[in-house]
Amino acid sequence: MPKTEEVKLTPRDKETIEKLVDMTGDIVKLAQCKKDPAVDIPVRALSNVSFNERKKIIEMGRRTSQQQLFNLSQGQNYLHEY
């Protein structure tokens, strides 16, 4: 059996994992209450981006849209973006 290398997580990796665990916990709680779980997805539009002069990059803004996980039409629209 090949030996696997240990992955070193950055503070940002740890923060991302924590947010994903929190989000999945929220989804499970809503589903257990028979409520439609949803996630907030960043709005991918020119109106939601800005140029960061200091970093010299274009950054995504804070606007989001809520996507219902059990709404088939919203899921299809989201998949078509990719």
Query: What percent of the chain lies above the pLDDT cut of 90?
Result: 45
Mean pLDDT of 65-69: 83
Q: Give dist(CA 15, CA 23) in Å, integer.
A: 12
- List the domain boundaries for the chain: 11-80
User: What is the per-residue pLDDT across 27-55, written as a single tens digit (0 to 9) for each?
Assistant: 889 888 988 888 888 898 999 999 999 99
Task: Scan for tokens 């996980």, then name that residue.
Answer: 69
CA-based nearest residue to 39, from 58, 19, 15, 18:
19
pLDDT of residue 5: 83
* Model pTM above 0.75: no
* pLDDT of 14 above 90: yes
